[in-house]
Structure 1
Amino acid sequence: MVLNCIILGSDPEGFEELENFLAAIPYVYLAARSNNMEAAKYWLETQTIHVLITGHYHDPLSAPPDEAGVLPVMMMVYNDTPPGFDFLPVAVMQLPFTPTTLQDVFSKIYKIIEMHAITYPTKYDTEYFMLRTPHRMEKVFYEDLQYVEVMDDHIMLHLRDQKLVTTEKLDWIISQLPLNAFMHVHHWFVIGFRHITHLADDHVMIGEARIALTKAMRTELAKRYQLPMY
């Protein structure tokens, strides 16, 4: 099981190390980094996020001034009551923290989920999502979607046997995709793990398509590429 995580807030001292520490934990994926709760809500409503780490931001959940220098860590709990999610405090990390501290916190969360057999609802209970194209609504099957490419004034979805064009926003398309099967690897590309044909030091191949990768993104992709997709 992969624990999908969101970082919420700005950077108190030591906060900049968090992304690097998270990348070193093989079963944790940083799905997004949001500056405020409104932006984070976009991801929380997908019901695919397991952990929320909060820094400083203008919201009632933000740490009071006398608690500056701490990072609250919360498990997500989903339900049918609006807004559809709640927060379960799990730990408070004191800054500066170490990779071991973070590893221990996520190990605790993982054990809680396993011990209590917690299951997470998901909107991905079908094999496809519906996409608006210029002429009609199209079914996009997850297993057929090779990669998503951002063009000048539209977005192109490359499937096994066809290409679909849409003017939907990339963030919306990403929100329709299972996080354990797709990854936003470049400003202009989202790829499907099952269609990777080669992973090099500075790029990934999806069939004949060559997509450039930064060193950090290559490391993250290599880690997630080895995990079960469904």
Structure 2
Amino acid sequence: MIRCLIVDDEPLALDILVDYIDKVPALHLVKATTSAFEALSIVQTEQIDLIFLDVQMPELTGIQFLKVLNGKCRVILTTAYSQYALDGYELDISDYLLKPIAFDRFYKAVSKVQNQYQPNVQQVAAEKPQSLSPDFIFVKTEHRIQKIFIDDVLYIEGLKDYISIFTPTERVITLQNMKKMEEALPAGRFARVHKSYIVAIDKIESIERSRIQISDKIIPIGDTYRENFYKQIEDKNI
């Protein structure tokens, strides 16, 4: 059993990681806290094997926390900013997760940590998690962070400076790029079909002449993505 600590000053980020840890039987959550100083105290008094550590925190940054920790336990950094990756790896972190964090990427990082422990610890990969796909994602809109259920997503359209997520009832606009959104979605359920479109495979109504119909929307299939898309579709053919 890997004993975990979560340190993040965003309550929503804490909730997501708590949910993910609960899905993996080999992980045990000792504490989730928004305070870096409380986390340091816990590390001194409790057995902690793995810390999920945010980088940007008001009391103490994640990089400063790592320096104080001095290799006492394994650390996975979590942040929305990739520029901190190099600093983290120089301080011997186990992995680096970019927000929004998809469950399959989280699971891969946890498996890597488990493999760094002694052989007598049971393999995380051998223990089946409750689910390999997240039920929802959180996205930042202009005024709030919004929860979107994966099953509700019809398709995603990328524009110059933002993307739109379409569901049967609404359009959610977020300042995000297509690559990060594609990585956050569960593999196998969505397909990138164009530089500007990601579609939910189970929401496709028909495909004709390099065009996809989802509800009343016609979506083009780009030349770059055609081969991979049709391969995904063929894998689901009966």
Normalising by the residue count of structure 1, what TM-score does the alignment of the two structures yield?
Answer: 0.46
Structure showing greater relative contact order (alpha-carbon pairs closer than 8 Å, 6 or more residues apart): 1
More helix by share: 2
Say which one has the larger Rg. 2
